[in-house]
């Protein structure tokens, strides 16, 4: 007999009722607790929060774990493994950060010091030169001196010799740079150009550097051309050679053979430059750009300098020289003097590296040779010069060749472009030959030497058919005579006819250029 059956039937019924009541209450309690837990769950979740979720509970939120459950979870081996991994990761990150600081901080200081050293070398002579800074100040006081807008810069090749405190400029270039259009125009200034130098009267323009340093050179160029010059760069012969060598040499198509010991500074290894395409090292490049040992003298040298500049630009703009920047800047810093900062130079290099090769123009101030009191000058065409500079300032291309006369569509006449017939007009034996030899030395092409129809010429005549400029050039080189148009009265097949008169021998026989 079972225990329940031994009881009184009433008691059994009452006991069964109480059990059902307890069961119902317990089930309701469990259901209410379950609903509360569901309400506390994040939206879309259908299970209790994982341990990783509990760790990331916002400070303002509450956890579904009981303290006992939390203690049990944190004492589990998996939780301790996670803590150890996080500690190790944080330690590694801190170590890497420390190493980065230790390595990069000195590197950054070294780079800053290196750049500072470059800057100190570049500006060593001009840091306290108030006169230079005044000369470089824009004419318009509202304009800020910068390299991010179009500007003019003077580049001077200095013939500096040991022990000298002043020197003449061997090469003078005015460079117009437009960073916005990414264009550059290099204007060559013939060193024999006759110019007014403040406080020193008229002289060859390259004497300005000797008389008054860079500030007087800038003032003279501004007075002569009308350009507003705001930057200056000077480099000596050694610097030029080092820069070319730092670039690994420059490929140049040399038009004719050069043999010039003076241009090579009497370096026996580099005074000869053969014609043809070749890579010139610094020493041979210096001979190429310095030599005046041509019939046309400085005009031919300027032409070679422009050939070199175009070749140099082509090479600088190539990607290969990106990796030579440090060596090039080292060479510039050791040998150049400028008002530009290292930041300016990097900015300019960045802009010009994007420039196309055809965006570089090379031109020469227009003018013609002339002998004055036994001294050879280039007499500049003042109107042509001002018009050329105005065109460049306006962003226009300068029409014509490297020696174009702005706006005229004509080129500067040089002696090698002129054929000449020489005739004796006084009956003195050998006088026509002497005159022809003098003209040939200056580069003119003598086609015929003979006698005039009669010996009655007291004054030398320089006769032309169509191009008076060529006759004017011959007359200036002779230093005597009158220029006349033929108009059919004289018979000759060359550009110019010279009838030598009695005035020629007395005035110019045996004279030579400076």
User: Tens of pLDDT along 388-444?
Assistant: 999 999 988 875 433 333 333 345 677 888 999 999 998 888 899 999 998 988 888
Q: Burial, 46: exposed, middle or buried (Cβ in 10 Å; 0-12, 13-18, 19+)?
A: exposed
> pLDDT grade, residue 461 (50/70/90)?
very high
Highest mean pLDDT among 266-280, 338-352, 396-410, 476-490: 266-280
For 356, residues 6+ apart whose C-beta sits below 8 A from its C-beta are 182, 317
Tell me which residue has tokens 């150890």: 84
**Which is more confident, 314 or 258?**
258
Cβ neighbors of 318 (< 8 A, separation 6 or more) are none
Alpha-carbon distances of 246 from 250, 272, 282, 316, 484, rounded to whole Å:
10, 22, 9, 11, 55
Contact of 261 with 228, CB cutoff 8 Å: no
Torsion of the alpha carbons at 390, 215, 179 and 362, rounded to the nearest 10? 60
Tens digit of pLDDT for each residue in 148-187?
889 999 999 887 655 555 666 888 999 999 988 888 899 9
3-state helix, strand, coil in the chain (%, to 5): 45, 20, 35
Q: Report residue 453's pLDDT band, with 50, 70 and 90 as the boundaries.
A: confident
pLDDT at 117 over 60: no
Express each pLDDT in 486-512 by its tens digit: 877 788 889 999 999 988 765 544 333
Structure token digits, residue 150: 């179009």
Give residue 404's pLDDT. Answer: 35
Please say whether the dihedral angle defined by the alpha carbons of residues 255, 261, 265 and 271, taken in this order, is positive or negative.
positive
Polymer length in residues for the chain:
514
**Is it the case that residue 514 has pLDDT exceeding 50?**
no
Distance CA 50, CA 79 (A): 12
Would you say 472 and 478 are in contact if contact means Cβ atoms under 8 Å apart? no
141 contacts 228 by C-beta, under 8 angstroms: no
Least confident span in 26-35, 95-104, 163-172, 378-387: 95-104
| Beta bridge partners of residue 235, listed in sequence order | 157, 336
pLDDT, average across residues 22-33: 58
CA distance 137 to 230: 6
* Mean pLDDT of the region 324-331: 72
Q: Is the pLDDT of residue 106 over 80?
A: no
The number of beta carbons lying within 10 Å of the beta carbon of residue 15 is: 13
Using CA atoms, how far apart are residues 297 and 307, in angstroms rounded to an integer?
16
Q: How confident is the model at residue 46 (pLDDT cuts 50, 70, 90)?
A: very low
Stronger pLDDT, 254 or 319, i.e. the higher one: 254
Cβ-based burial of 253 (10 A; exposed 0-12, middle 13-18, buried ≥19): exposed
Q: How far apart are CA 371 and CA 439, in angstroms?
A: 13
Q: Which residue has the tokens 């191009």?
A: 467
Average pLDDT value for residue range 293-309: 81
Q: For residue 361, give the nearest of 176, 136, 127, 499 by alpha carbon.
A: 176
- Report the chain's terminal Cα–Cα distance, integer Å: 150
The number of CA neighbours under 13 Å toward the Cβ of 95 is 6
What one-character DSSP code corresponds to residue 441? H
pLDDT at 97 over 90: no
pLDDT tens digits, one per residue of 313-323 = 777 766 455 55
- How does DSSP classify residue 322? G
Q: What is the pLDDT of residues 210-242, one digit of tens each?
A: 899 889 999 999 999 999 999 998 888 888 898
Return the bridge partners of 370, or none: 377
- Residue % of the chain over a pLDDT of 70: 66
Between 198 and 167, the more confident residue is 198
Nearest by Cα to 289 from 314, 315, 264: 264
Asked if 465 contacts 504 with a C-beta cutoff of 8 angstroms, the reply is: no
Contact present, 152 and 175 (Cβ < 8 Å): yes
């Amino acid at each position: 007999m079972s225990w329940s059956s031994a009881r009184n039937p009433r008691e059994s019924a009452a006991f069964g009722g109480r059990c059902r009541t307890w069961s119902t209450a317990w089930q309701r309690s469990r259901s209410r607790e379950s609903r509360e837990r569901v309400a506390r769950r994040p939206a879309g979740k259908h299970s209790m929060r994982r341990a990783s979720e509990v760790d990331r509970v916002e400070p303002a939120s509450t956890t579904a774990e009981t303290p006992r459950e939390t203690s049990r979870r944190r004492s589990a081996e998996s939780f301790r493994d996670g803590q150890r991994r996080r500690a190790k990761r944080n330690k590694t990150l801190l170590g890497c950060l420390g190493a980065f600081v230790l390595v990069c901080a000195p590197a950054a200081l070294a780079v800053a010091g290196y750049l500072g050293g470059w800057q100190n070398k570049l500006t060593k002579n001009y840091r306290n030169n108030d006169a230079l800074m005044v000369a470089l100040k824009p004419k318009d006081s509202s304009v800020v001196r910068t390299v991010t807008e179009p500007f003019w810069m003077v580049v001077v090749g200095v013939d500096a010799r040991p022990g000298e405190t002043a020197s003449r400029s061997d090469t003078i270039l005015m460079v117009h740079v437009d960073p916005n259009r990414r264009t550059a125009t290099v204007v060559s200034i013939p060193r024999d150009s006759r110019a007014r130098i403040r406080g020193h009267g008229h002289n060859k323009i390259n004497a300005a550097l000797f008389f008054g340093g860079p500030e007087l050179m800038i003032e003279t160029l501004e007075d002569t051309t009308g350009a507003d010059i705001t930057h200056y760069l000077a480099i000596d012969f050694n610097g030029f050679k080092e820069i070319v060598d730092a670039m690994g040499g420059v490929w140049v198509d040399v038009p004719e053979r050069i043999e010039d010991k003076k241009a090579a500074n009497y370096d026996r290894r580099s005074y000869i430059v053969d014609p043809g395409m070749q890579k010139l090292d610094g020493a041979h490049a210096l001979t190429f750009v310095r030599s005046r040992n041509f019939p046309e003298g400085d005009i031919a040298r300027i032409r070679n300098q422009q050939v070199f500049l175009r070749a140099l630009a082509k090479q600088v703009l190539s990607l290969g020289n990106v990796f030579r920047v440090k060596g090039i800047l080292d060479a510039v810093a050791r040998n150049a003097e400028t008002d530009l900062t290292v930041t300016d130079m990097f900015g300019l290099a960045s802009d010009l590296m994007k420039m196309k090769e055809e965006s570089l123009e090379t031109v020469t101030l227009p003018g013609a040779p002339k002998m004055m009191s036994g001294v050879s000058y280039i007499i500049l065409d003042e109107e042509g010069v001002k018009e050329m500079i105005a065109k460049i300032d306006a962003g226009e291309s300068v029409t014509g060749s490297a020696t174009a006369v702005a706006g005229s569509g004509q080129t500067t006449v040089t002696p090698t472009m002129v054929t000449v017939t020489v005739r004796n007009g006084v009956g003195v034996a050998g006088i026509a030959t002497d005159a022809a030899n003098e003209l040939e030395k200056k580069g003119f092409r003598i086609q015929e030497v003979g006698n005039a129809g009669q010996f009655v010429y007291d004054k030398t005549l320089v006769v032309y058919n169509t191009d008076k400029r060529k006759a004017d050039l011959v007359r200036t080189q002779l230093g005597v005579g009158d220029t006349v148009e033929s108009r059919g009265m004289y018979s000759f097949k060359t550009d110019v006819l010279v009838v030598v008169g009695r005035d020629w021998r007395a005035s110019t026989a045996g004279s030579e250029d400076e």
